Amino acid sequence: MPKIYGYCRVSTDEQARSGLGLESQQYICEHYINYLLGCAKYTHLTPGEIFTEKTGVSASKVDLIRRPEGYRLHMILEEGDHVVIAKHDRCFRSVRDFQWTRPVWEARDVTMHFANLSMDMTTPTGNLLANVMVSVAEWESRVISERTKDALEAKKRRGEAPTGDNPGPGYQFIGKRRMLVPNRDDYPILRLITWLHERQGMSFAKISDRIEQLLAERENRKPIRRVVFNGPGRKWSKDRCRRAYINFAKIDQEDVPTPVRPWRPSP
C-alpha cells in the first residue's frame, strides 16, 4: 500500500542539536500528513516515516539525494508514494536540484507536497509556483552569502573580529577596538595540527582525537567523545582543528617560532 512520508532539515549542527527548528518542521509535517489522510482522494495512503536530517547540512551546497536522510528517503520510495516537505526552502535551495529530483520522482509516480505553500503541485499552476518559490529560495541563499562575505571582508580590513566574541584559533583581541592580531601562545599547537595533517596525512577528526587524548591524560579524565549532544564538547574539535589549520596558513610564517619539542598540554 502506498505511503506518505515527511522530510525535515536544518542547515547547521547547532540547529540540529537544539532540535527547535526540527520540532517545528516535524509538527508541520505531521499535521499536513493528517490533513491529506483526511481527504477523500488520499484515503488509500498510510502514514510513513518522517525523515529528519540529524546533522546540519546546507541545501544550497548538498543535493537532496546526497544528504544522509534524503538519500534514504529517495531509495525507499515506491510507486504511488507521497512526500510531504515541511518547508520548500528547507529541502531545496537549488533550482537545479529541484528540477532533477521532481521529474525522477514523477517518473516513479511519487507525488511531492510543500506543506508551507499548501498548493496542489500536480496542476500546471502549482508546478509554476513551485519552480518560482524554489528560484526565490536559491536567490535568497546567494544574496545572504554575498552580504555575509562583504561584511566579513569589511571587518577584516578594519582588523576586527569576523564574528562573535571568539577570535578563532591562532588569533586574539587587543585594545578597546578589539583589534584582531595573531596569538603567539597558540602557535605550537597550530604547528602540530599542520604537521599531523600535512606530514602524517591525518584527518582533522583523527587530529582532534590525538589532541583530546593528550589533554585527557594531562587532566586525568576520560577523553570526550567527538559528538556531544548535552554538555560541553571538546575544546579542539574537528572543526576547530580545521580552522586552526586554515588560520595558521594565513599567519606570517616568519613570525612563528620553531618549537624545540612537540606540543604537550601545559601543566
CATH of the domain at 137: 3.40.50.1390
Residue 88 lies in a domain: yes
Domain boundary among 105, 124, 143: 143
Sign of CA dihedral 59, 60, 61, 62: positive
Which pLDDT band holds residue 114 (cuts at 50, 70, 90)?
very high
Q: Are residues 16 and 109 in the same domain?
A: yes
Positive or negative, the CA dihedral 121, 125, 131, 132 is: negative
Residue 129 lies in a domain: yes
Q: Domain boundary residue among 143, 158, 185?
A: 143
Lowest mean pLDDT among 70-79, 152-161, 204-213: 152-161
- pLDDT for residue 264: 56
Q: 30 and 127: one domain?
A: yes
* Region 226-255 average pLDDT: 77
Which of 125, 143, 161 represents a domain boundary (last residue)?
143
What's the whole-number mean pLDDT along residues 34-58? Answer: 89
CA–CA separation, 214 vs 119, rounded Å? Answer: 56
Residue pair 46/1 in contact by the 8 Å Cβ criterion: yes
- Domain count of the fold of the chain: 2
Q: Cα separation of 42 and 208, whole Å?
A: 50
Same domain, 175 and 222: yes
pLDDT band with cut points at 50, 70 and 90 for residue 142? confident
113 and 210 fall within a common domain? no
Is there a contact between 57 and 86 (Cβ–Cβ < 8 Å)?
A: no
- Distance between CA atoms of 259 and 187, rounded to whole angstroms? 9
My answer on whether 98 and 196 are in the same domain is no
My answer on whether 50 and 139 are in the same domain is yes
55 and 130 both lie in a single domain: yes
State which H helix or E strand residue 131 sits in. Answer: helix 124-158
**Residue-averaged pLDDT of the chain:** 82
Q: 118 and 30 in one domain? A: yes
Domain-located, residue 164: no
Please check whether residues 101 and 62 belong to one and the same domain.
yes
In a domain, 28, yes or no: yes
Assigned domain for 217 exists: yes
Whole-prediction pTM: 0.58
Residue 137 placed within a domain: yes
- Whether the per-residue pLDDT at 231 is higher than 80: the answer is no
Based on the domain organization, do 44 and 8 belong to the same domain? Answer: yes
User: Hey, what's the cell of 109?
Assistant: 509516480
Per-residue pLDDT for 71 more than 60? Answer: yes
Residue 205: inside a domain: yes
Q: What share of the chain is helix, strand, coil (3-state, %, to 5)?
A: 50, 10, 35
192 within domain boundaries: yes
Q: Strand pairing of 82-85 and 3-8?
A: parallel
Which of the pair, 221 or 259, is modelled with greater confidence?
221
| Domain match, 77 and 181 both | no
> Which are the contacts of 132, defined by CB distance < 8 A and separation ≥ 6?
none
pLDDT tens per residue, range 80-107: 999 999 998 889 989 999 999 999 999 9
Same domain, 139 and 178: no
Beta bridge partners of 8: 52
SS3 53: coil
Range of the domain at 224: 171-255
